[in-house]
Homo-oligomer: A and B are copies of this chain.
Amino acid sequence: MPAFPVPDPESLFEAARQGDRAALARLLSLAERGGPPSRAVAALAYTAPGDAYTVGITGAPGAGKSTLTDRLITLGRRTGVTGADGADGADGAGGPVAVLAVDPSSPYSGGAILGDRVRMSGHTTDSDVYIRSMATRGHLGGLSVAVPDAVRVLSAVGFPVVLVETVGVGQQEVEVAAATDTTVVVVNPGWGDAIQANKAGLLEIADLFVINKADRPGARETRRDLELMLELTELGEWRPPIVETVASTGDGVESLWAAIVEHRAHQLDRGTLVEHRRRRLEREFGEILVARVRQRIESLQRDGRHVDVVGPLLEGRLDPYEAADRLLAALGMEPGDGAGAGS
């Protein structure tokens, strides 16, 4: 219920490209709200994609992700993701930096806290730093679709670097963290922290490990645990480095940024960056497909147009799997195809 007419997505894009932050904020609100306007925004961003490099920062609540992200903003502003200092090494030579703080469902970290940190550290006076927290409840396809849409908008309006901070808890949240060019997994010193990260599915998505709060006891043991687990994992050509940081003082964060820059260069050298992005796009496409089918099924359920299946289901005469196969057959899909492949 807007109190004034909302400009069309085209005009908003044009304005956002010229640096209009209010227009950008509106675009992102449209994108995260879902529905037809969201689709129009996504389509526009898709046809003029830009070339942002995306860095995911994830880990358990309290691991220090926000403080670390704050430090990375400074480094991104200084050198950019190519790692090349400006001629005079001045702040800002790296170009603008955008941050998506994704945490719609967790009470921890997320936009508010990061916002506070950033306010403290003075980034808000820097108009080339744009920070946005994501609230995506209600978006068709959830986080897995809403976050790539928002990243694409930020890329399309000209940000060369987008940092995506997520809490590494919950199935979708971990997937979102993994859907970036470089994924940084943050752990802390302490008994079993690396093992917990493994349990949470974070080890398999990491391009880089950070042991943050490395001035606390147990950093060496955590490094050993991570190295052991890497030994036990089948790695590709890239072996995830382990960087120690103390985000609160800034110790080690330059090494972390250097490792990000190196990971990017490695992917460009081997041509794997294009391949990874390609696979991510296919996965995202799959999510959108599934979301669309879900919409379709919900509309059928609302209309009561498959009572023949739901009735027997509710009466206990059909199990839900059998009911699903029958409904899909009614929708015109052969459920047998591939359904027996397991997994």
Q: Which B residues touch A42, using CB under 8 A? A: 319-321
Interface size class of A (residues with CB under 8 A): 35 or more
Q: Is the Cβ of A34 less than 8 Å from the Cβ of B343?
A: yes
On chain B, the residues within 8 Å of A90 by CB distance are none
Tell me if A36 counts as interface (CB < 8 A to partner B): yes
Interface residues of A in 168-185 (CB under 8 A from B): 169-174
- A325 lies within 8 A of chain B by Cβ: yes
Is the pair B107, A200 in contact by a Cβ cutoff of 8 Å? yes
Do the beta carbons of A333 and B105 come within 8 Å of each other?
Answer: no
Q: In the complex, are the beta carbons of A310 and B285 less than 8 A apart?
A: yes
Task: Let me know if A323 is at the binding interface, CB within 8 A.
Answer: yes
Count of chain copies: 2
A107-B199, A324-B285 are known contacts. Are A335 and B296 too (CB-CB below 8 A)?
yes
Give the residue of B137, B143, B328 whose beta carbon is less than 8 angstroms from that of A289: B328
CA–CA, A319 and B288, complex, Å: 11
Task: Please judge, given known A-B contacts A140-B343, A322-B43, whether A201 and B105 are in contact too, CB under 8 Å.
Answer: yes
Contact indicator A46/B331 (Cβ below 8 Å):
no
Residues on the B chain within 8 Å of A299, using CB: 337-338, 341
Least CB distance from A196 to B in Å reads: 3
- What string of 1s and 0s marks CB contacts (under 8 Å) between A104-130 and chain B? 111110000000000000000000000
Closest to A334 in B: B296
Binds B, one of A65-73, A251-259, A276-284: A276-284
Q: Do B343 and A106 have beta carbons less than 8 Å apart?
A: no
Whether A82 is near chain B, meaning CB under 8 Å from some CB there, is no
Cβ-based interface call for A218 (8 A): no
**Nearest neighbor of A106 in chain B, beta-carbon distance:** B169
Shortest Cβ distance from A140 into B: residue: B343
User: A200 — which chain B residues lie within 8 A by C-beta?
Assistant: 105-107
CA distance A201 to B294 in the complex (A): 21
Are A290 and B297 in contact, with the CB atoms below 8 A?
A: yes
Q: Which 3 residue pairs spanning A and B have beta carbons closest together?
A: A170-B170, A299-B338, A332-B332
- 10 A-B interface contacts by CB (under 8 A): A42-B321, A105-B174, A105-B199, A105-B201, A107-B196, A170-B173, A285-B313, A288-B321, A290-B290, A299-B338
Using a CB–CB cutoff of 8 Å, the interface residues on chain A facing chain B are 34-36, 39, 42-43, 46-47, 49, 60-61, 104-108, 137-138, 140, 142-143, 167, 169-174, 193, 196-197, 199-201, 278, 281-282, 284-286, 288-290, 292-301, 310, 313-314, 316, 319-325, 327-328, 331-333, 335, 337-343
Further contacts, 6 of them, CB under 8 A, given A290-B294, A292-B325 = A36-B340, A43-B322, A47-B319, A107-B196, A278-B314, A295-B341
